[in-house]
Structures are given as C-alpha cells and as structure tokens.
Amino acid sequence: MDISIINAAETNGDVGIIIGDKNAKKTLVEFINLRCPFCRQWFLDHEKLLAKEVASGNLKRVIKLYNKDKESLQRGNVMHQYVTKGDEKKALADIKKIFLSQDLWGDLSLEAVAKFAEEDLKLENYTDELTQKAIVTEAQRANIQFVPTMILNDHIFDESISAETLLAYLNE
C-alpha cells in the first residue's frame, strides 16, 4: 500500500460506526470491507487490544464500511447493510459474526448474501445509502484505494501492523 498518496486530512471521525467516547484522546479511522480477508485479519487480530483502549477512554474507533466496486468485494457491500446502526456493542458483534462466517457467504451471489445475512446470521437490514455515499466520497477525496486502511493521528497503516507498533502509536 502506497500511503504517500493518502491525504489523511480529508478523513473525519464523525461518519461511520463510532465505538467509544467521542472525546477520547485518540481517534482511529478504519476503512474496511466486510468481504475482504485482510480486513477480517485486522479486525480479529487487534480486537482485544482495541477494546481495551476504547474501554480505558484512550481511543475512539470510527469504522467506515467502505463499499468497493471490485467484483469480489461487492458481497461485502451487501453485508454492510446488515450492521446495526446506533448501538456500538451490537455493531461490533454484527461485524464479528459477519467476519467469522465470511468463508460461508463470500462466494455467493449478491442476492444469496442478503438471504444468508437474514436467514443464517439473523441480521436486520439497516440500509443507509446516505452514510455509504459519504464514506465512498470521503475515501475518494482522501485517495484511499485499498482496504483495510487505518489512520491514527499521523500514522497510516494496514492489517500487517504489529500489536506492538499499534500500541506504541496509541501511547504516543
């Protein structure tokens, strides 16, 4: 990932799924797609560390479910509609449930993905086209092309960041 082309100043901490205290010391902006295996790796590998930082009041996470045109990621675009709005704990649980079942729905047709979300995962459709459009526009302005892309202060990184490096960034 070429981070030199990303303009982090074009991102914001207000649009997306907000996890934690809105006035936390640090804000982590996460552009992810629920079909992306690297996004799943990021989410699951750093879940406990990020939860601890949020619980301590040090971190606000802003998860931006980024709809992508790439054919293989369009299934994620469908799943984005099934993540709860307005309840951060349920939203995180929905995202985890979707990621853990990714291998079961990842190659289905778009219609079958929606059916899987509703029938197998027992999720409700929370379609929010305004938020989705805002996230896509924001990503384009910031020149974010790949998922996952994370921004924490002056640091831009992807799923390959180590827990040690992430913790160092959080403690700066």
Give me the pLDDT at residue 154, please: 86
Per-residue pLDDT of 23-39, as tens digits, reads 999 999 999 999 999 99
User: What is the helix (H) or strand (E) element at residue 63, kind and residue range?
Assistant: strand 59-65
Residue-wise pLDDT for 94-149, tens only, equals 999 999 999 999 999 999 999 999 999 999 999 999 999 999 999 999 999 999 99
Domains of the chain in start order, with CATH, are 8-171 (3.40.30.10)
The 10s digit of each residue's pLDDT in 63-89 is 999 999 999 999 999 999 999 998 999
Instruction: Select from 13, 21, 98, 102 the least CA-distant residue to 63.
Output: 13
pLDDT at 164: 95
Instruction: Tell me how far apart the alpha carbons of residues 2 and 11 are, in angstroms, rounded to a whole number.
Output: 17
Residue 1 pLDDT class (50, 70, 90 cuts): low
Closest-CA residue to 61 (of 23, 21, 99, 28): 28
DSSP string, 116-162: IIIIIS-PPP---HHHHHHHHHHHHHHT--SSSEEEETTEEE-TT--
Residue 83, pLDDT score: 98
